[in-house]
A and B are shown apart, each in its own frame.
Chain A
């Protein structure tokens, strides 16, 4: 192995330092490198995934208040008809979702009813794994959005960002390195403040070391790739977000904080096209009404604040949000004012370019599967496919291992 100094002397300057990467890659270059992907909505479309972790009770989110079986199954925790925010005579939104209801009426919200997959798995972990990999019938290693990265081959280290405490598996695998940035303020590297001039030397050595060959050293290649991305992306984020100014107040809520970080990164023009957020926990085996009301209210208010922020910065037309949960919950409530693990549930697709409305049939509450759960109506992979091809403008077959018909919301 060459030492770093000899490498520099031999003229290998172009690879010399991720710390200086932003100097090489201005915004024009960032835009140019992703110009290969293009949808009808332009080259700058951005996807924000919202994961509702823990299994959201779809029946009390998009409430089938006019469908047979709802009242009978939900004697203790059903939403009273008078409180439902009606979308049709049969279904309506949870009463805490007023902001989203207004957005729905403005045509900015598509709701895919009964999204799921064949042979549903009632384990949180296996089912989440299925939603992350988009492979329901085998154990796969590559996240569906990592598959998108494999198709797009972005060189921007911030092309996709996991706005989560740990890298979301949907963005892991296929040799990709995606930064996890739960909070932009905390995302910076510190060195010895007594010797500020030493910082560049330290970062240069570290960055060089992360670009060496670690084959034969278990785990270290992955760590090195992560380190290289960390050095580059911390610098880019800190350089970029300093300019963010916003008067929008986000709710004091986990998703609100995540979406504010997303807004800051969008405002910074970092070239990110995929953001992934997660909040919860929706695992309401007991005392569901208060817990879910708080979560759905927080969801609705956070999304609304985010959209207002985007509108203020002129980015609303470039952003699409998509929510999902690993499963819905049992139709029949349990004895703890809660619900056990179920199957299909609603997905929300939100944005000013969305064709709003209801998609898919609401699953029957009386013709259930052998575990007394809902039967899914729309394969979630067709929603993913619609987002990939219709919104991001990339070939869905690399990420999904096949082609699915468009659901039609974009």
Chain B
């Protein structure tokens, strides 16, 4: 559950949630306001005080630290969801502070009202720049935001016409940005004429357009399907979607109630869901660090994430990232393996940024090659691999060693080499790529 509802867990976090029982664990994740998060807040505040927060790299670093440390993992997992859903890129926005402002908006509304999320994002400074809402004027409307609002943010293609795009663009005219990236509204640039949108005619403004969209049945199903794919797996039954979407709509589009229902849905605990979603790069990285007891990020980690295909605050397009097997190309997969190699081979001054082989062996209570492999497989992939792969890893660990198995890990160099190498190899397995 922590792999899906968060970014994985440390062994301590996992046993803490497990001791609660299932429904109480869901409640702790979903009703996160009740969980104190002082440790992460203090660390993030200290980082923000130290870093130049007008730089994108600083904002990325602070967010990663929050993902790794937060006691409210579901909140942060939803911030990532909204960043992907309302995908905005600093490459065009060119204002890291505006990206940070948007990030904080997502955090404040992570499980809030979808209506308020839409209303807020429609006049969010970074979004106004990203989809040209700031130059959408009465005399000749700019369709960029209106189209993506319907295609990507609420309904999906096939549920509106080009004429609806044009009429919605008219309704959103008049918004702008001043030099300080503050939002402005110029009534003279706002089109007050009659607009016919989704079959209804009136003097609609932007919020009226959002209400007309949310009056349709489509958005609830559209968002339910996307969140189901995010948390459970990518092949939900239509019945499950319909039932969850009804819950969502009846709650008045409260995302908290939809996500709670998804986490409590039988499918979430089904064999199909188990190891059924590909980890995104941040989950691969942060989950690995948590599992292996690493608290410090590697230097240059932003570059690694980018090469893994996830440059935070710069998604590939307004459609966000291509999740699932879309994360896996030869280049991004090589970068996963190279990141795992970095995490498993740090030594000397950088040792705190990588694994501690001696501590791992003690934690696992391993002495023999079999115990080492089984312990690491349990730790990293719940032991969920084919026996042949397990045996091949043992073969690799044993190598040319001919001595007694119980003496195997007594040789410090042998321990160092095989714990690091085996951890790297398990992080390279297909099973480890799955959440």
Q: Which residues of A contact B388 (CB under 8 A)?
A: 1-3, 212
Q: Is A189 an interface residue (CB 8 A)?
A: yes
Instruction: Give Cα distance in the complex from A124 to B421, angstroms.
Output: 44
Q: Which residues of A contact B151 (CB under 8 A)?
A: 123, 125
Which of A189, A222, A332, A341 is close to B325, meaning CB atoms less than 8 Å apart? A222
Contact with A along B151-164 (1 / 0, CB 8 A): 11000010000100
Q: Is A187's CB under 8 angstroms from B142's CB?
A: no
Q: Which residues of B contact A165 (CB under 8 A)?
A: 309, 316, 331
Q: Is B23 an interface residue (CB 8 A)?
A: no
Instruction: Give Cα distance in the complex from A80 to B317, angstroms.
Output: 32
Interface window among A148-156, A213-221, A398-406: A213-221
Instruction: Give Cα distance in the complex from A48 to B325, angstroms.
Output: 25
| Nearest A residue (CB) for B235 | A218
Instruction: Give Cα distance in the complex from A177 to B319, angstroms.
Output: 24
Contact with B along A163-192 (1 / 0, CB 8 A): 001110000000001111110001111111
Q: Is A334's CB under 8 angstroms from B309's CB?
A: no
Q: Is B386's CB under 8 angstroms from A1's CB?
A: yes
Q: Is A191's CB under 8 angstroms from B424's CB?
A: yes
Q: Which residues of A contact B120 (CB under 8 A)?
A: none
Instruction: Give Cα distance in the complex from A2 to B389, angstroms.
Output: 9
Known: A189-B337, A335-B139. A212 touches B330 (CB 8 A): no
Q: Is B43 an interface residue (CB 8 A)?
A: no
Q: Is B334's CB under 8 angstroms from A192's CB?
A: no
Q: Is A230's CB under 8 angstroms from B330's CB?
A: yes
Instruction: Give Cα distance in the complex from A178 to B331, angstroms.
Output: 10
Instruction: Give Cα distance in the complex from A338 to B140, angstroms.
Output: 10
Q: Which residues of B contact A220 (CB under 8 A)?
A: 430-431, 433-434
Q: Is A212's CB under 8 angstroms from B334's CB?
A: no
Instruction: Give Cα distance in the complex from A198 to B395, angstroms.
Output: 13
Instruction: Give Cα distance in the complex from A341 to B395, angstroms.
Output: 58
Instruction: Give Cα distance in the complex from A162 to B329, angstroms.
Output: 10
Q: Is B276 an interface residue (CB 8 A)?
A: yes
Q: Is A166's CB under 8 angstroms from B135's CB?
A: no
Interface window among B104-112, B222-230, B338-346: B338-346
Instruction: Give Cα distance in the complex from A384 to B151, angstroms.
Output: 28
Q: Is A206's CB under 8 angstroms from B333's CB?
A: no
Give the bracket for the number of chain A residues in contact with chain B.
35 or more
Q: Is A192's CB under 8 angstroms from B386's CB?
A: no
Q: Is A13 an interface residue (CB 8 A)?
A: no
Q: Is B393's CB under 8 angstroms from A214's CB?
A: no
Q: Which residues of B contact A300 (CB under 8 A)?
A: none
Q: Is A336's CB under 8 angstroms from B136's CB?
A: yes
Q: Which residues of B contact A194 (CB under 8 A)?
A: 345, 347, 416-417
Q: Is A224 an interface residue (CB 8 A)?
A: yes
Which of B337, B342, B395 is close to A5, meaning CB atoms less than 8 Å apart? B395
Q: Which residues of B contact A192 (CB under 8 A)?
A: 341, 344-345, 417, 420-421, 424
| Nearest B residue (CB) for A205 | B396
Q: Is B393's CB under 8 angstroms from A205's CB?
A: yes
Q: Is B4 an interface residue (CB 8 A)?
A: no
Q: Which residues of A contact B434 (CB under 8 A)?
A: 218-220
Instruction: Give Cα distance in the complex from A338 to B136, angstroms.
Output: 11
Closest beta carbon of chain A to B414's beta carbon, Å: 10
Q: Is A209's CB under 8 angstroms from B392's CB?
A: yes
Contact with B along A104-146 (1 / 0, CB 8 A): 0000000000000000011111100000000000000000000
Q: Is B84 an interface residue (CB 8 A)?
A: no
Known: A4-B392, A179-B331, A198-B421. A218 touches B275 (CB 8 A): yes
Q: Is A3's CB under 8 angstroms from B147's CB?
A: no
Q: Is B328 an interface residue (CB 8 A)?
A: yes
Q: Is A209's CB under 8 angstroms from B429's CB?
A: yes
Known pairs A122-B147, A192-B421 / 10 extra A-B pairs, C-beta < 8 Å: A125-B319, A166-B331, A190-B341, A190-B342, A198-B417, A217-B275, A220-B434, A281-B317, A285-B143, A334-B140
